[in-house]
Amino acid sequence: MMKYALFLGCTIQRRVRQYELSSRAVLKKLGVKSVTLKQFNCCGYPLRNSDFKMFVLLGARNLAIAEKRGLHLMTLCKCCYGSLKKVNDLLKNDPSLLNETNAILAKEQLAYTGNAEVTHLLSVLHKDVGLEAIKEKVKVKFKDLNIATHYGCHALRPSEITQFDNAADPVLFDQLVEVTGARSIEWPLKLECCGAPLTGVNDELSMDLMGKKISSATQAGAHFLCVGCPWCYVQFDSVQVKMSLKRGINNQLPGILYPQLLGLAMGIGGNMLGLDKNQIELTSIKNFLAIDSQEGQKQ
Shared domain check, 195 and 234: yes
Shared domain check, 164 and 82: no
CA 199 – CA 117 distance, rounded (Å): 31
Residue 297 pLDDT > 50, yes or no? no
**Considering the chain, what is the average pLDDT of its residues?**
95
Report, as an integer, the average pLDDT of 206-211: 95
> What's the structural domain count of the chain?
2
> H or E segment at 156?
helix 153-156
Q: Which residues contact 107 (CB under 8 A, 6 or more apart)?
A: none
CA 19 – CA 15 distance, rounded (Å): 9
Shared domain check, 148 and 61: no
Shared domain check, 176 and 91: no
Is 130 inside a domain boundary? Answer: no
Shared domain check, 99 and 220: no
| pLDDT band for position 299 (cuts 50, 70, 90) | very low
Cβ 151 vs Cβ 258: under 8 Å: no
pLDDT of residue 223: 97
Tell me the three state secondary structure of residue 147: strand
Tell me the percentage of the chain whose pLDDT exceeds 90: 94
Residue 26 pLDDT > 80, yes or no? yes
Residue 294 pLDDT > 90, yes or no? no
Cβ 116 vs Cβ 66: under 8 Å: yes
Cβ 161 vs Cβ 92: under 8 Å: no
Is 129 inside a domain boundary? Answer: no
Report, as an integer, the average pLDDT of 3-31: 97
Residue 14 pLDDT > 80, yes or no? yes
Q: Tell me the per-residue pLDDT of 98-124, one tens digit each, with 9 for 90 and over.
A: 999 999 999 999 999 999 999 999 999
**Bridge pairing between strands 72-75 and 2-7:** parallel
Look at residues 108, 173, 180, 102 and name the one whose alpha carbon lies nearest to residue 144.
180
Q: Which residues contact 252 (CB under 8 A, 6 or more apart)?
A: 214, 240, 241, 244, 280
Q: Tell me the per-residue pLDDT of 51-75, one tens digit each, with 9 for 90 and over.
A: 999 999 999 999 999 999 999 999 9
- Domain range for 96 is 2-121
Report, as an integer, the average pLDDT of 78-85: 98
CATH code at position 15: 1.20.1050.140
Q: Tell me the per-residue pLDDT of 148-187, one tens digit each, with 9 for 90 and over.
A: 999 999 999 999 999 999 999 999 999 999 999 999 999 9
**Bridge pairing between strands 2-7 and 32-35:** parallel
pLDDT of residue 298: 39
3-class DSSP string for 80-132: HHHHHHHHHHHHHHCHHHHHHHHHHHHHHCCCCCCCCCEEEHHHHHHHHHCHH
Look at residues 100, 101, 95, 25 and name the one whose alpha carbon lies nearest to residue 60.
101
Shared domain check, 226 and 110: no
pLDDT of residue 291: 59
Look at residues 122, 131, 185, 116 and name the one whose alpha carbon lies nearest to residue 152.
122
Which of these ranges, 237-246, 272-281, 283-292, has the smallest mean pLDDT? 283-292
Residue 87 pLDDT > 90, yes or no? yes
Look at residues 63, 58, 60, 80 and name the one whose alpha carbon lies nearest to residue 13.
80
